[in-house]
Amino acid sequence: MSSEPYKSAKTVFWIVDNGSSHSGKTSIARMQDTYANARLIHLPVHAS
Domain borders along the chain are 1-48
Q: pTM of the entire structure? A: 0.72
> Measured between alpha carbons, how far is 25 from 13 in angstroms, rounded to an integer?
16
Contacts of 24 (CB under 8 A, 6+ apart): none
Give 1-29 pLDDT, tens digit per residue: 889 999 999 999 999 887 877 777 888 88
Predicted pLDDT of residue 3: 92
Helix (H) or strand (E) holding 45: none
